[in-house]
Structure 1
Amino acid sequence: MVIRSTFIILLMLSQVFQAISAETGRDPARWQTNIDAFLATDQEQPTKPGGVVFAGSSSIRMWDLKKSFPEGGFLNRGFGGSEIIDSTHYFNDLIGKHKPRLVVFYAGDNDVANGNTAEQVHADFRAFVEKFKTELPDARLAYVAIKPSIARWSMAETMKSANNLIAADCAADDQLTFVDVWSVMLGDNGTPKPDIFLGDGLHMNEKGYELWAELLRPHLQ
């Protein structure tokens, strides 16, 4: 009876771990429902070439672009929880089909939180850039640095290392721009400003997005 009970417990734990792995694994297919929703919107509201596409994870998804940039013409294709590889996998559906002149991209935050090294984040960024250059050879890419946050401050060193690697790539390529939001999001004590975040200490409030908008505005022309 003890052996049987132990086996059942181990089996249940195994199923839990499998579920967690499926949820946090690097399988872009888990985002298909989100992508299908974007495709349906594209059918109803087709876009014109030459615009600006904002893509990436929840910091993009939650951004009220109309409020930050009332001039309009910007498309939000962020989906929360995603990593760089997810936007690479769905590049054509999210970005390429719209033929933008500029792509504003934020991802890498979740990558680090999910255990990826700075070197892996850098490699994934390079794969994204390769896809970007293949599909949109005449467009520009503005990469928004992985942001510091209260909730993930323990991961700051890995994030800074990834940012440095990516910034070096951007500095060497006229088609790429590195938008350094890290510095402006820190207070005088060198830690994330508490007044620019929502209660979860991870996602930004309106004040946080104002900082981003100010830094990005010169690159949107």
Structure 2
Amino acid sequence: MKTVRWLAINIVCLLGLALSQTLYADNLVDFKFAKEINAFRQWDSKNSVPKQATLFVGSSSIRYWPTASAFPNIAVINRGFGGSVTAEVLQVYEHVIGKYAPARVVIYVGDNDIAAGVSVTDTIAQLKRLINRIKGDFPHAEVIYLPIKPSLSRWSLWPLMQQVNQSIQTYASGTDNLVYVDTATPLLDPNGQPKQSVFRQDGLHLNDKGYAIWNTLLAPYLH
């Protein structure tokens, strides 16, 4: 009788675990970038994830960046997805940040927030929330913030983006293990306009020349 009861309890527990996992997956179905997040989950389930890696996270500027080939001498995890805003990175935080044990986290997000009409104040608040969550979970990890870049297609929004950048730069100057690396200014020409040669045809995303600039600027911080 005890054996039967023990088996019944274990079956119920296993069913409960399966149900919770199903619900967890179903909750992601409604997420705009569920396909990309599920691809990360599938990859992680089949491969060993390096510990103490440099984790790149954020929007499509991270996703398009060939970080593994750009920085071949360090362990890299790239979890950039879609045209994400900061709130969406926070929404799937455990999938793209929390599950790893990074030595440092490189963030590029906020660009799409401003483009979507999120206010400067709210964008800054969301970025600080993301940064502080990472620092709380990984107190010994270095967080590297890459500012919102100037671009041809979003040039009219540059004054707002600069306000965000300046606020986070000031915040970083007074925060341990938070580094602001200026990858924005070098994308401007001598007249203070975006360099056309560093962007793809869409005028928004960087091409190989643009990423080469980012690689050079970031490399000294990845050791």
Query: Shorter-chain TM-score: which interval?
Result: 0.7 to 0.9
8 A contact 2:53–2:74 mirrored in 1: no
The one of 29, 32, 47 equivalent to 2:31 is 29
**CA offset at residue 135 of structure 1?**
1.5
Post-superposition Cα deviations, 1:37-60, rounded to whole Å, max 9, x if no partner, equal 111110111212111110000000
CA distance in 1, matches of 2:50, 2:56: 15
Corresponding position: 1:81 with 2:77: no
Secondary structure of the structure 2 residue equivalent to 1:60: helix
CA distance in 2, matches of 1:67, 1:196: 19
- Look up the match of 1:62: 64
For 2:56, the aligned partner's letter is F
CA distance in 1, matches of 2:80, 2:68: 15
8 A contact 1:140–1:176 mirrored in 2: yes
CA distance in 1, matches of 2:59, 2:146: 11
For 2:81, the aligned partner's letter is F
**CA offset at residue 73 of structure 1?**
1.2
RMSD: 1.2
CA distance in 1, matches of 2:50, 2:218: 22
Q: Unaligned 5+ residue runs, structure 1? A: 1-27
- Hey, which bits of structure 1, 4+ residues long, moved more than 4 A? none
8 A contact 2:135–2:143 mirrored in 1: no
**CA offset at residue 30 of structure 1?**
2.1
8 A contact 1:102–1:142 mirrored in 2: yes
**CA offset at residue 72 of structure 1?**
4.3
For 2:156, the aligned partner's letter is S
Secondary structure of the structure 2 residue equivalent to 1:147: coil
CA distance in 2, matches of 1:30, 1:80: 9
Asked which structure has the greater CA Rg, the reply is: 2
Corresponding position: 1:98 with 2:100: yes
8 A contact 1:51–1:102 mirrored in 2: yes
**CA offset at residue 62 of structure 1?**
0.3
- Look up the match of 1:187: 189
Post-superposition Cα deviations, 1:65-108, rounded to whole Å, max 9, x if no partner, equal 13311224111100021011111222221112110010001000
Q: How many residues align?
A: 194
8 A contact 1:55–1:103 mirrored in 2: yes
The one of 116, 123, 126 equivalent to 1:114 is 116
Greater shift in the superposed pair: 88-97 or 103-112:
88-97
CA distance in 2, matches of 1:142, 1:173: 12
Secondary structure of the structure 2 residue equivalent to 1:94: helix
CA distance in 2, matches of 1:70, 1:51: 12
Provide the TM-score with structure 2 as the length reference.
0.84
Corresponding position: 1:211 with 2:213: yes
CA distance in 2, matches of 1:89, 1:182: 26
Alignment of 1:120-199 (within 5 A): 120-199=122-201
- Look up the match of 1:9: none
**CA offset at residue 130 of structure 1?**
2.2
8 A contact 1:88–1:131 mirrored in 2: no
